[in-house]
Each structure stands twice: as structure tokens, then as C-alpha cells.
């Protein structure tokens, strides 16, 4: 079997993980209804109250540990594998930090994978920016350290893995092994540069299919990727529960839940 397309870029957002039990951001009950974005997701917020920020991301690490990839993550991981085998070039860009794509791959993150907003499974030194694989929860609901499984699935190739809990300051904030300065989550906060944008744009301008899954189309640059791909001549498709903010950028708009619509859509890629 061959794919109808030769170069495919997928973009995913919180909606692909909602059926796994991960909360989205902007729906009712979404994360941003309960938290002030600038307090927990900005460099200024971290400077002001690093304990609050680490508590927020520690809770999210615990939650990520409790959920599993759903049918949409698994179908996508299988499709990426099969497409690559058949000679089609693929790229998966996710805005999600929940690690569910990596876990659906069943192996270390693929080279054709960009976590544009970072991931819960890494931390970085605030001084030298060195990045570490890190699954520790430094605060749980009771401000107690909680150990996670430091298994291979969460380690990143080429990165030092924090196998034992790093030293912490008097407030409980972890300190980097490199500079003994504060460690922070390797999450792209508001006002910071997303990861891998140049590579993403390069692939978007040469792909013949772009598929957006479970993202409201509110946050740039990801919200502009469909337009970039469409202008370059790609067919653009969106799979989302509700109409998205950027719906005019799509040739094809599929409404429904990702666990049903993603496997259905992926079957149609083959001829």
C-alpha cells in the first residue's frame, strides 16, 4: 500500500488527549479557568513565585503519570511508523506537554517529532539553559516530594537523566547539577520562543498534506501553520470537536472526537 501523500505534517493540541483524561485549556473546566496564565506559565510568574509554578507542574506531572495514550495517539503513532516505512516523510508537531505521543510511540521520541511547547518530562537550568530528562515531582498536594518511575520512556536521547532527586533549596526548588541554580520545567511559557519553529516551517512549506487535531487555533505560531501549508499548496484538514478559530485555513473540516475521527481519517491516507 502507498500513501496518497509524500510529505505529511500533523499538528496536535490538547483535544487529542482529552479522552485520556487530560484537561484542555480553553474549554469550560479547562486549565486556564482555574489558573492565572501569567502566574504559572510565564518567566515573570516563575521569578515571582517559583514554588507556585513548581507545584502546578508537579501536579501536572502526577496527572500525566496517571493517564494513558488513547486510540487517537495510538493510531497516529502507527500511521507515522507505517508512512515512514512506505517512504512518506512525516512530521508530528505537538503543542501538548503531556508526553502521551512519546508513550504511544512505545519508544523514545521519534526524530520526526517536535514538542513545540516543551514537555513535562524535561527540566532546564535557569542559568545555562542545560536541559535534563526529569520525571521528579518536587511538590505534591501536601508539599511532599513524590518519586516517579525514571524509566526509559521518559528519558531523552543525548540528555542527562536526573535519576536521583536533585538537591533542592530551602523552599524545595530543585537545583541544577550543572550550575546549582534553579531548575525550571522545560515548558515554553507565554512570551518565550517555541521549540523547532524553523524546522516546522521548512516542513510546512514542502508538505502536501497538513492535518490539525484537537487544537482551538488560538495560540501562534501553531495557529498559523495551516495557512503556511495551504499557501504552499498542501491539502489542509482539521479534526476537532468544535469549529476552530482558524477554520477558514482548512479545505476539510471534520467535527467529532479524536478517538473516532483520527483513526477514520488515517485509513483514508492509503490508496
Question: Interface residues with ligand APR (CB under 6 A)?
Answer: 13-15, 18-19, 24-27, 30, 95, 117, 214-216, 218-219, 240-242, 244, 257-258
Min dist. Cβ of residue 27 to ligand APR (A): 6
If DSSP codes are grouped into helix, strand and coil, which group holds residue 146? strand
Scan for cell 491516507, then name that residue. Answer: 269
Q: Count CB-CB contacts under 10 A for residue 254.
A: 17
Q: Considering beta carbons, is residue 168 or 199 the nearer one to ligand APR?
A: 199
Active site residues: 117
Q: Count CB-CB contacts under 10 A for residue 261.
A: 18
**What is the per-residue DSSP string for 154-200?**
G--TTSEE--SPPPB-TTS-BB-TTTSSBEEEEE--TTSPPTTHHHH
Q: Considering beta carbons, is residue 75 or 88 the nearer one to ligand APR?
A: 75
Min dist. Cβ of residue 257 to ligand APR (A): 4
Q: Considering beta carbons, is residue 146 or 201 the nearer one to ligand APR?
A: 201
Min dist. Cβ of residue 23 to ligand APR (A): 8
Min dist. Cβ of residue 184 to ligand APR (A): 15
Q: Count CB-CB contacts under 10 A for residue 73.
A: 28
Are 12 and 240 in contact by the 8 Å Cβ rule? The answer is no
Q: Considering beta carbons, is residue 88 or 92 the nearer one to ligand APR?
A: 92
Amino acid at each position: 500500500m502507498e500513501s496518497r501523500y509524500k510529505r505529511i505534517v500533523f499538528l496536535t493540541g490538547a483535544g487529542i488527549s482529552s479522552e485520556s483524561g487530560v484537561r484542555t485549556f480553553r474549554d469550560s473546566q479547562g486549565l486556564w479557568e482555574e489558573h492565572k496564565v501569567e502566574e504559572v506559565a510565564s518567566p515573570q510568574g516563575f521569578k515571582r513565585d517559583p514554588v507556585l509554578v513548581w507545584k502546578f507542574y508537579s501536579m501536572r506531572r502526577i496527572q500525566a503519570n496517571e493517564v494513558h495514550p488513547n486510540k487517537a495517539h495510538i493510531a497516529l503513532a502507527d500511521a507515522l511508523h507505517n508512512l515512514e516505512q512506505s517512504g512518506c516523510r512525516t512530521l508530528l508537531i505537538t503543542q501538548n506537554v503531556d508526553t502521551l505521543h512519546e508513550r504511544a510511540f512505545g519508544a523514545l521520541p521519534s526524530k520526526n517529532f517536535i514538542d513545540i511547547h516543551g514537555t513535562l518530562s524535561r527540566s532546564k537550568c535557569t542559568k545555562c539553559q542545560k536541559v535534563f530528562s526529569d520525571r521528579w515531582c518536587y511538590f505534591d498536594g501536601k508539599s511532599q516530594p513524590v518519586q516517579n518511575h525514571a524509566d526509559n520512556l521518559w528519558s531523552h536521547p543525548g540528555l542527562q537523566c536526573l535519576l536521583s532527586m536533585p538537591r533542592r533549596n530551602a523552599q524545595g526548588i530543585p537545583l541544577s547539577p550543572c550550575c546549582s541554580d534553579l531548575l525550571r520545567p522545560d515548558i515554553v511559557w507565554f512570551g518565550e520562543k517555541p521549540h523547532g519553529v524553523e524546522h516546522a516551517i521548512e516542513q510546512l512549506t514542502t508538505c502536501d498534506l497538513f492535518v490539525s487535531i484537537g487544537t482551538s487555533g488560538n495560540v501562534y505560531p501553531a495557529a498559523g501553520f495551516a495557512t503556511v501549508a495551504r499557501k504552499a499548496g498542501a491539502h489542509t484538514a482539521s479534526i476537532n470537536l468544535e469549529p476552530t478559530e482558524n477554520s477558514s485555513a482548512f479545505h476539510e473540516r471534520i467535527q467529532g472526537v479524536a478517538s473516532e475521527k483520527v483513526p477514520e481519517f488515517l485509513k483514508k491516507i492509503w490508496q
